[in-house]
């Protein structure tokens, strides 16, 4: 904890966790959830991705090793209850959320490499760590996952992961792949939002297919 680099990463991770938790709590509030429900949605948003990652990697689940993830989510709930009017109208949250996202991707990649998985698994785990919590949040709230429609959120994680891969392949020493990856995630996401970029949508040819959802529907047609 006295190590300045560790302390810096710790502070960034707290900020990212708070930003993710607040995003979940605010959406829960919009659906009139009670305090407990809002806490759960915030917690799931903040730790859901890392939890799936740790289960898939078969390593101890990170938030069960220290109580501060639960505590920081409680702090986030208190912040929303006390300052909700202010928080709703600020773009600071977007910056926090993006910084947290970038760090979550790097953590997911590094944990996977530590356990001995190849780089393509690590990139997948980076994306899961960054993006799965928000997907769970939308499932809990009974929304269609925003992730899939509005944002190049997960795509930013993917591009960041590729940069990590290239940097590692190019022989860069250890903090650098992570730093370049995080910077790529942040720049990609900010650029995408500023420029209104999004991925192509698959809809056009399927406007009449909502009624024909599964192969089994076609065998008789």
Residues 61-120 that bind its own copies (CB under 8 A): 61, 64, 67, 70, 80-81, 84-85, 88-91, 93-94, 96-97, 117-118, 120
**Under 8 Å between Cβ of 177 and 210:** no
Task: Provide the angle, in degrees to the nearest 10, between the axes of the packed helices 4-30 and 119-140.
Answer: 30
Q: Which stretch binds its own copies (CB under 8 A): 9-17, 20-28, 164-172, 174-182?
A: 20-28
Residue 201 within binding range of its own copies, rule CB under 8 A: yes
Q: Which of residues 41, 109, 163, 186 is near its own copies by CB under 8 A?
A: 41
**Under 8 Å between Cβ of 130 and 108:** yes
Classify residue 179 as exposed, middle or buried by CB count within 10 Å of its CB (0-12, 13-18, 19+).
middle
Distance CA 190, CA 2 (A): 32
Residue 13 within binding range of its own copies, rule CB under 8 A: no
Q: Which stretch binds its own copies (CB under 8 A): 7-15, 58-66, 171-179, 180-188?
A: 58-66
Query: Smallest distance, Å, CB 5 to its own copies?
Result: 27
Residue 17 within binding range of its own copies, rule CB under 8 A: no
Residue 174 within binding range of its own copies, rule CB under 8 A: no
Q: Which stretch binds its own copies (CB under 8 A): 4-12, 22-30, 168-176, 178-186?
A: 22-30
Residue nearer to its own copies on the CB measure, 5 or 206: 206
The residue count for binding its own copies (CB under 8 A) is 86
Buried/exposed 58-76: b ≥16 CB within 10 Å, e otherwise: eeeebbeeeeebeebbebb
Q: Which residue has the tokens 């500023």?
A: 194
Distance CA 199, CA 205 (A): 17
């Amino acid at each position: 904890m006295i190590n300045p680099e560790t302390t810096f990463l710790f502070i960034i991770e707290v900020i990212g966790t708070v930003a993710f938790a607040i995003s979940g709590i605010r959406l829960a509030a919009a659906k009139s959830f009670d305090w407990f429900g809002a806490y759960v949605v915030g917690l799931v948003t903040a730790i859901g991705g890392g939890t799936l990652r740790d289960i898939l990697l078969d390593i101890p689940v990170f938030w069960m090793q220290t109580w501060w993830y639960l505590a920081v989510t409680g702090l986030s709930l208190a912040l929303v209850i006390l300052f909700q009017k202010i928080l709703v109208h600020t773009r600071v949250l977007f910056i926090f959320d993006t910084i947290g996202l970038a760090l979550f991707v790097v953590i997911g990649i590094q944990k996977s490499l530590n356990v001995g998985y190849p780089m393509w698994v690590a990139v997948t785990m980076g994306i899961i760590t960054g993006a799965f919590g928000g997907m769970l949040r939308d499932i809990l709230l009974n929304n269609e996952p925003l992730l899939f429609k509005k944002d190049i959120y997960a795509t930013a994680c993917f591009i960041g992961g590729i940069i990590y891969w290239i940097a590692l392949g190019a022989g860069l020493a250890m903090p650098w792949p992570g730093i370049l990856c995080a910077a790529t995630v942040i720049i990609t996401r900010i650029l995408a939002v500023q420029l209104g970029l999004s991925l192509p949508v698959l809809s056009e040819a399927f406007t009449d297919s909502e009624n024909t959802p599964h192969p089994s529907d076609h065998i008789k047609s």
